[in-house]
DNA sequence: TATTGTTATACTCTATAACTATA
DNA sequence: TATAGTTATAGAGTATAACAATA
């Protein structure tokens, strides 16, 4: 996912890219929700990176700062759990955000930390959120007024229903 | 993405998981198309892995076999490009599928290969496709008749429009 | 005893640079 | 000169196991 990196190669000297390769049929993939979800998600994240990534802020980090901004003082494990990140992988993320000066670990008791944004973190997330809002509005224009709400609802249904099913499978096993 | 792996820990001895942690508000993330896309995509891939992953077939590999089944004899780089995979990363994928006996490299000229499914590959993809179809139908039931088609169209618009914008950015740079 | 944070580790996915052989 | 496949490498993301300190 690094659409922000330079693209030094931009030859495309010939008008058509490939010989005899108009559009390769993807078969059942073309009607697959899973595949369409992946392609759309990749595109949106690349778009995010090209607009916000220059600030050194990746999507996952953006989500962390937003949650802490919404509720300052949350414990590491609570933030990680809310975002579906394992606490073991969350350690390095907080380390990095702290090293960048956007976030502080404030001791809550002697084994846990309360997470708070620094002033720099508040400024950074405000700036990133403004660009994120612009991106979302652009998507809204693409899909039409009801389209965006409809899409959000469909995605919510899929995420919650399938995630619950996974959890049930785990319990049954 | 490894939902198929065992889940040995299933304690949940206490009725509620966390103290004072009902539902953490995610703020603007709750209305974010990008975040909703990610959560839905993760859920669908986990669902895929829990049903098809036991066969040792991951989503990306599934997509490769499907494309080759649809059009046997395609070159490596054409398949990779059609799926948005860089040809440099595609080499190991083909190696692995070939090692599993699902796919063959047939020399086309002296620098390129035509990809074909083996008999075992045909059987494997037929089996996986049946399960994939069942998964897709389940999503169809979740979203209602028009919902699934609407979702597919929205995802297609997002993927194509944003991907094109990225390409234009690259050209302008 | 259960929770919290942590380290170590490994595997997948993705990205770039550079190379060989061939068209 | 451009294309096809390849290798090497690096950075993210995500998964599990095991541990110390604390509640």
Average pLDDT over residues A144-167: 90
Nearest CA in chain A to B82: A24
Distance in angstroms, CA of A82 to C1' of D7?
41
The helix or strand, by DSSP H or E, that contains position A168, with its residue range, turns out to be helix A145-172
CA angle, residues A53, A59, A60, in degrees to nearest 5: 135
Cβ-based contacts of A36 with chain B (< 8 Å): 151-152, 155-156, 159
Q: Is A113 helix (H, G, I), strand (E, B) or coil?
A: strand
With respect to residue B169, please indicate whether it lies within any of the assigned structural domains: no
Q: Per residue in B54-66, is it b (16+ CB within 10 Å) or e — as a string?
A: eeebbbebbbbbb
Task: Please tell me the total number of residues recorded for chain B in this structure.
Answer: 173
Beta carbons of A41 and B41 less than 8 angstroms apart: yes
Tokens encoding B44: 């669908």
Cβ-based contacts of B169 with chain A (< 8 Å): 50
B44 pLDDT higher than 80: yes
Range of the domain at B46: 32-143
Beta carbons of B144 and B136 less than 8 angstroms apart: no
pLDDT per residue as tens digits for the range B87-130: 999 999 999 999 999 999 999 999 999 999 999 999 999 999 99
Helix/strand/coil (H/E/C) assignment for every residue in B94-148 = HHHHHHCCCEEEEECCCCCEEEEECHHHHHHHHHHHHHHHHHHHHHHHHHCHHHH
CATH code: domain of residue A55:
1.10.10.10
With respect to residue A69, please indicate whether it lies within any of the assigned structural domains: yes
Distance in angstroms, CA of A108 to C1' of D15?
29
Average pLDDT over residues A42-64: 92
Beta carbons of B26 and A70 less than 8 angstroms apart: yes
| B50 CB neighbour count, 10 Å cutoff | 19
Residue of A37, A109, A126 to mutate when probing chain B, most B C-beta within 10 A: A37
With respect to residue A13, please indicate whether it lies within any of the assigned structural domains: no
B14 pLDDT higher than 50: no
Quick one: pLDDT band at residue A13, thresholds 50, 70, 90? very low
> How many alpha carbons lie under 13 Å from residue B25 in its C-beta half-sphere?
6
Spatial separation of the C-alpha atoms in residues B105 and B98, rounded to whole Å: 8
Quick one: pLDDT band at residue B79, thresholds 50, 70, 90? very high
With respect to residue A123, please indicate whether it lies within any of the assigned structural domains: yes
Spatial separation of the C-alpha atoms in residues B147 and B82, rounded to whole Å: 27
Residue of B38, B85, B148, B153 to mutate when probing chain A, most A C-beta within 10 A: B38
CA distances from A76 to A44, A111, A148, B100, B149 (A): 27, 11, 32, 42, 40
- B89 nearest nucleotide via C1' and CA: C14
Quick one: pLDDT band at residue B58, thresholds 50, 70, 90? very high
Nearest CA in chain A to B60: A35
Number of domains observed in the structure of chain A: 1
CA distances from A130 to A2, A56, A101, A124, A134 (A): 21, 16, 20, 10, 6
With respect to residue B79, please indicate whether it lies within any of the assigned structural domains: yes
With respect to residue A63, please indicate whether it lies within any of the assigned structural domains: yes
With respect to residue A15, please indicate whether it lies within any of the assigned structural domains: no
Residue numbers 80-109 of B with CB closer than 7 A to any atom of strand C: 85-86, 88-89, 93, 109
Cβ <8 Å between A37 and B44: yes
Distance in angstroms, CA of A94 to C1' of D6?
38
Amino acid A170: pLDDT: 46
The closest CB to that of B40, out of A37, A43, A173, belongs to A37
- Cβ of A116 less than 7 A from strand C: no
Q: Is B14 helix (H, G, I), strand (E, B) or coil?
A: coil
The overall average pLDDT reported for chain B is 86
With respect to residue A159, please indicate whether it lies within any of the assigned structural domains: no
């Amino acid at each position: 996912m690094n659409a922000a990196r330079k693209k030094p190669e931009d030859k495309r000297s010939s008008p058509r890219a490939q010989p005899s390769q108009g559009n390769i049929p993807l078969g059942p993939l073309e009607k697959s929700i899973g595949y369409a979800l992946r392609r759309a998600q990749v595109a949106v994240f690349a778009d995010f990176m090209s607009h916000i990534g220059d600030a050194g802020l990746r999507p996952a980090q953006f989500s962390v700062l937003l949650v802490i901004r919404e509720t300052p003082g949350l414990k590491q494990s609570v933030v990680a759990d809310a975002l579906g990140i394992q606490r073991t992988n969350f350690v390095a993320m907080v380390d990095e955000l702290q090293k960048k000066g956007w976030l502080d670990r404030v001791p809550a008791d002697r084994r846990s930390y309360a997470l708070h944004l620094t002033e720099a973190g508040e400024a950074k997330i405000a700036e990133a959120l403004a660009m994120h809002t612009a991106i979302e509005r652009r998507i809204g224009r693409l899909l039409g007024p009801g389209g965006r709400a409809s899409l959000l609802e469909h995605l919510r249904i899929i995420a919650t229903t399938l995630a619950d099913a996974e959890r049930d499978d785990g319990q049954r096993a």
